[in-house]
Structure 1
Amino acid sequence: MNTSRAAVITGAASEKGIGLAVARRFARDGWAIVVLDIDGAAAVAAAERICAEHGVPAVGLGVDVADEASVGAAERAVSAEVQAGRLPAVGAVVNNAGITSPVEFLDTTLDLWRRVLDVNATGTYLVTKAFLPPMLDQGWGRIVNMSSVSAQRGGGVFGKVPYSSAKAAVLGFTKSLARELGPTGVTVNAVTPGAVDTEIRVGSTPEQEALIASAIPVGRTATTDEVASAIAYLCSEESAYLTGVTLDINGGSHLH
C-alpha cells in the first residue's frame, strides 16, 4: 500500500479506457488518485466511484491537456488539496490522454494534425511540466507516457499519420527527459500498447477486429487491465533502475 503518494492520471474517466483501468489498479495498490479528463463531470464521477470502491482519497477534475491555462488550473487545484491534507503529495503522473486519427493522409486537415499533436504530444509536455516540480522536491517520482506501437511501426493498427507522428514525439520526449532527470530520483518511461480493447477503436468492423487479432502472435488484443499492470510496475519502487524505457505491450505483434 502506498497511501503516502497520489497518482495523477489523464484521460481517466472513460468506462472502457486504459486511464480508468490504471486509476483503479493504482487505487487497489493503495495510491490516492487524481482523475483528469476533458469531461469534468465524468472525472468527478470516476473519482467518487474509486473512493467508494477502494477507500482511498480520489479527486476528479475537468481539464483540456492541450491547453496550458487549463492544465495550470488543475495543478493548482491538486496543490490546494495536498496543502489542505486531503491528498498526499503527487508521486506519479500517467500521461494517458490521447486521440487517434484513422484518416488517410490526403484526407487529413491541418486542424486535425494540430489537434492530434496537441492532445497526444503537447498534452504530455504540459501535464508533465506542471506536476514535475513537487516530485523533484521530494527526490522521488514516476512519469509514464502513453505512446503506441503505431509510433514504432508507422501505424498499421488503427491510427494513421498524425497519430503515429504524435506518439513518436512522445517517445523522444520520454527519452530526453529521462536523461535530463537521471540523478533526481524521478524516472520517465513510456508504454507502447498494440491493439487494446478500448473505445478508441469504436467504429472498426468485426472483420477489421478479426484481422487485427489474427496478426498478433498471442491471438487476441490486450485488455486494459493488462496495460494498467505494466504501468503500475513502472510506477513502483521496484522499477527504480528503469528510466528512458519503452515497454512494449503488444502480444508479440511488433518484435524488434
Structure 2
Amino acid sequence: MSDWLFDLGNSRFKAAPWQADGGIGTILAWPHGAEALVAGDDSQGPLPRGRRAWVASVAAPALTEQLLARLRERFDEVHVAHTRAECAGVRVAYARPERLGVDRFLALLGARALGGDALVAGVGTALTVDLLDAGGVHHGGRIAASPTLMRQALHARAAQLPAAGGRYAEFADDTDDALASGCMGAAVALIERSLREAAQRLGREPVLLLHGGGAPELLPWLPQARLRPALVLEGLALWAQVAGAD
C-alpha cells in the first residue's frame, strides 16, 4: 500500500506515487481535468489506491470536495495541503499566507529544495511569477492571464478571433499568428521583466524555473529557463514530509 500525491489544477489533474526516499515516481496526467474521474469515468485511467493521499487543489470547491470523496473511498487517509507562513525552509511574503495559492506555495517549496535564488513561473490557467532567494525568503510575485486564457478571453469577446492556433513571429503577417505572438509575447515579456527586477533586487540573477501545462510552449522564447514540470508535486512531497512529522 503506497502513498500518492495529487495535484488538481483548474485545467489539469496529475498524480504520482510518493516514494520511500522522498522522491516522486512516474507521473499520471489527466489533461482534461478531474470532472470525468469524480463522475466515475475511468476511461482516461483509474484513480490509484493506497495508504495515504496527499492532495493540492486550486480547483473550484465543489470539484475539490467531489475528488476528495472519491479518494476517501480508495485511501485509508486523505490529507489536503494548505499554505503555511513558514515551511521546509520557505518564508512566505504574504501577511495573510492563506491568500497565497497552494500551487504557488508548493512550487516555492520545490524550488527551495533545488537551492539558490529562483524566479518561479507557473503557466497554467493563470501565469504566476514568484521570487525566492537562496535563504528561502519569498519576495512576492505576480498573477496574470496565461497565453491560453488570453486567447480564450479574446475569443469569448470576439468570436471571429480563434481561441487557438497560429505561430509565434516578432511581427506577424496573419491574424492567427498575430494572436499567438501577442499572447505568448506578453507572457514572455512579463517573465523577462520579472527576471530583470529580481536581479536588481537581489544583486544577482536568479535561476528561472518554468512549470505548468503551458510551460513547454514558452520554453523556446526563454532559453535560459529550466523546465520543472513536476515542481508542484515535488513541493507537495516536501509538505507531506513536514505534515507527516507534525
Structure showing greater Rg:
2
Tell me if both proteins adopt one fold, taking TM over 0.5 as the criterion: no
Q: TM-score, normalising length from structure 2?
A: 0.35
Larger helix percent: 1
Comparing both structures, which one devotes a greater share of its residues to strand? 2
* TM-score, normalised with respect to structure 1: 0.34
